[in-house]
Chains A and B, each alone.
Chain A
């Protein structure tokens, strides 16, 4: 595999945008203790050459947008950026596509910023196919309203639009991730944009926090906290900071997994002995046992249609992945190769299953094609954990260990692109990729 390390920011860029970007970074430094360093590892896949110019009138915004769009696309490992310097391509007219093609680009964005009422802005953009010889070369466009504080979300939406038009796969940039940072003996549950920027702390605790799980609407996180010296499941509403106990039964309460309808969760309780899977309403009522085994059943995860619950069980001796109907009944074994297959995570499109497997003492993320049951290892580190699919089913976020320090990485579901999100001087673990932002 060829390792391609690309700089976090595009090399050649206009001085003004650079200043804007610098201003942003300085401004964000107080709130964000995460300096994300991204390394993209590609397999030499073909990169799509695209022009993302400085937006017309972009200087009227307090923060650059085109810079973030460029960084998103570059980080995805699927695009190469064709630099045209400070030249802008106004949205109001079709750019000179032949000239853009001559610079090596197969697609170009024309985009403008317009002031709007109440200190808000309008972003207008259109995407063009520069190789189109006849007919309409326009691939579509959009009009975004935003307040200056929303430049990052606006940029991620534009990047999602471009990504989807040019790859045929929905984008994943306008999403958030949750993860746990351990600094000394302090733990923080943090929420950040998919690029690791804009990190905010939802919960600070002197005890460990594990297994964050996004509600389907992205408004709440369920997680396991050890603040009471035993594992208790909480549901935390992010916008208000309100937290409620979902499950605090005698024994341990862990592994929350939201049903696709957001009304129920599968959880693991030990009130009747060993770890077993229960269903519970989102308000904490109506806990009922789903499955009964004589060993451990844990790590439940719903299929996106809500029909199946995948889980880890040691009922055959070694931990293996099984699935059962979400209405109960018998379990069907899913993994057979190897002596340690855990943490099943079905993809949002229902076609794949990511999981953790041990091979020669090394823990790696693997993916199974659910139709053929074929397995492909995706990572090659010694201690990978906690795979979590992006909403587009095409990227997987996971925790890895570099030199004894926890870090986050993401890989494409076909293993062709890998990126590392490192947060300086901290131990990061338990990533969970949230749904598309509303």
Chain B
């Protein structure tokens, strides 16, 4: 039990071997009395939420397969309808919010959600919507529609949502 000394001590001990008198060491002085440790709290408020056109909130989701960013055939008519609407109303703007399931890294999931949003954005563009009308963003795993750890739940979180801003 006595021989637990680590190399650093041994080194320090050896370094001091030349002196026979214990030389009083000048202690290092630190003044920590002026360091600030108080952190004021800032409150952020959610923006844009009240601007969302309530008529456009429900039923506007496109779902994706696991590890996939290809729009399923059953979603095509929905995307087509949105593209027609946007082409018809040039003043309309839509945000495509991509989402991902919660497994793994948050930042990588954010990128996966973006990949889904981007797939929808490109489809809308091909179908006649203007670039200035669409913003593809990702909420990653931060806004799950379902919070259980099950495949059916994860499937609900792999989606893109259409969110129209009120004019």
Q: Do A and B come from one complex?
A: yes
Give the shortest distance, in Å, between A361 (CB) and chain B (any CB): 9
Residue of A131, A141, A153, A191 touching B27 (CB-CB under 8 A): A141
Segment touching B, from A57-65, A203-211, A410-418: A203-211
Give the shortest distance, in Å, between A396 (CB) and chain B (any CB): 15
In the complex, how many residue pairs between chain A and chain B have their CB atoms under 8 Å apart? 239
Q: Report the Cα distance A140→B9, complex, angstroms.
A: 11
Give the shortest distance, in Å, between B21 (CB) and chain A (any CB): 8
- Contact (Cβ within 8 A) B137 A275: no
B:1-52 near A, CB below 8 Å: 1-2, 4-9, 11-13, 16-17, 19-23, 25, 27-33, 35-49
Residue of B32, B42, B135 touching A157 (CB-CB under 8 A): B32
How many chain A residues have a CB neighbour from B under 8 Å? 94
Contact with B along A146-171 (1 / 0, CB 8 A): 11011001100100000011111000
- Given the known interface contacts A166-B9, A251-B114, A298-B108, the answer about A200 and B38 at a Cβ–Cβ threshold of 8 Å is yes
Residue of B29, B35, B44 touching A227 (CB-CB under 8 A): B44
A:93-146 near B, CB below 8 Å: 94, 101, 104, 106-107, 120, 124, 126, 129, 131-132, 135-146
- Contact (Cβ within 8 A) A144 B137: no
Q: Report the Cα distance A430→B25, complex, angstroms.
A: 43
- Contact (Cβ within 8 A) B105 A312: yes
- Contact (Cβ within 8 A) A270 B118: yes
* Residue A2 CB within 8 A of the other chain: no
Residue of A154, A207, A385 with most partner-chain B CB within 10 A: A207
Q: Report the Cα distance A200→B42, complex, angstroms.
A: 11
Residue of A104, A107, A275 touching B114 (CB-CB under 8 A): A275
* Residue B136 CB within 8 A of the other chain: yes
Residue of A nearest to B46 (CB): A206
B:140-156 near A, CB below 8 Å: 140, 142-143, 149
> Chain B residues near A164 (CB, 8 Å)?
8
Give the shortest distance, in Å, between B11 (CB) and chain A (any CB): 8
- Contact (Cβ within 8 A) B32 A146: yes
Give the shortest distance, in Å, between B46 (CB) and chain A (any CB): 5
> Chain B residues near A196 (CB, 8 Å)?
none
- Contact (Cβ within 8 A) A165 B110: no
Q: Report the Cα distance A374→B165, complex, angstroms.
A: 51
- Contact (Cβ within 8 A) A210 B41: no
Segment touching B, from A16-24, A230-238, A330-338: A230-238
Residue of A153, A210, A383 touching B107 (CB-CB under 8 A): A210
- Contact (Cβ within 8 A) A210 B27: no
- Contact (Cβ within 8 A) B20 A135: yes
- Contact (Cβ within 8 A) B103 A254: no
- Contact (Cβ within 8 A) A135 B115: no
* Residue B127 CB within 8 A of the other chain: no
Which residues of A approach B to under 8 Å, CB–CB?
A: 46-49, 94, 101, 104, 106-107, 120, 124, 126, 129, 131-132, 135-147, 149-150, 153-154, 157, 164-168, 191, 198, 200-208, 210-211, 224-231, 236, 238-241, 243, 250-252, 254-255, 268, 270, 273-275, 296, 298-299, 312, 319, 340, 342-343, 356, 358, 363, 383, 385-386, 404, 429-430, 437-438
Which residues of B approach A to under 8 Å, CB–CB?
A: 1-2, 4-9, 11-13, 16-17, 19-23, 25, 27-33, 35-49, 95, 97, 103-108, 110-112, 114-115, 118, 135-140, 142-143, 149, 163
Show 19 residue pairs from A and B whose CB-CB distance is below 8 angstroms, ordered by the A residue.
A107-B9, A131-B2, A135-B19, A143-B28, A145-B32, A153-B32, A157-B32, A201-B39, A228-B46, A231-B110, A251-B137, A252-B137, A270-B114, A275-B114, A299-B105, A312-B105, A385-B104, A386-B105, A437-B35
Contacts A131-B5, A254-B110 supplied; 7 other A-B pairs, CB < 8 Å: A126-B27, A135-B13, A145-B29, A210-B140, A241-B40, A296-B108, A356-B105
